[in-house]
Amino acid sequence: MNLKMLCAATSLIALTLTATPAVAWDLLATRNVADRVDRDSIALEGNRRFERIRLCVYERPVHFIDVKVRFANGSVQDAPVRARIRPGQCTRALDLVGDDRNIASVDLVYEANTPRRGVGATVRLFGE
């Protein structure tokens, strides 16, 4: 086997190993967030059930102050993020109490840490 084939095979294996866990996560919503302390509510339509969620950050760091998950049955769960997430990183998987919960909305209180006004970040909500 020549060097090019070996490099291609190694790259393919590495890509497969890193991409496999993400296959189970469904993108639920995307929000562009402001460069100040702000809050957003991400409403989810339909009867879709999840065991856990995670938030991923792109472009600029975001400091999550509070995250609450509201369920279709009216109950609320506090998701203990309270951390600064850097661009390209995600929160750990946040387990939802109970079996396969039907999420009505996810409420975020956050601050995008940007170098100047008018520059925001993107937050993506994933569910599994």
Tens digits of residue pLDDT in 85-113: 999 999 999 999 987 689 999 999 998 87
Q: What are 25's two structure tokens?
A: 């996560």
DSSP three-state, residue 96: coil
CATH code where residue 40 lies: 2.60.120
The pTM of the full predicted model, rounded to 2 decimals, is: 0.76
108 within a domain of the structure (yes/no): yes
pLDDT at 30: 94
Is 116 within the bounds of a domain? yes
Q: Is residue 111 part of a domain?
A: yes
Contacts of 74 (CB under 8 A, 6+ apart): none
Q: Is residue 2 part of a domain?
A: no
Domain hosting 65: range is: 25-127
Question: How many structural domains is the chain composed of?
Answer: 1
pLDDT digits (tens, 9 = 90+) for 64-87: 999 999 999 999 999 988 899 999
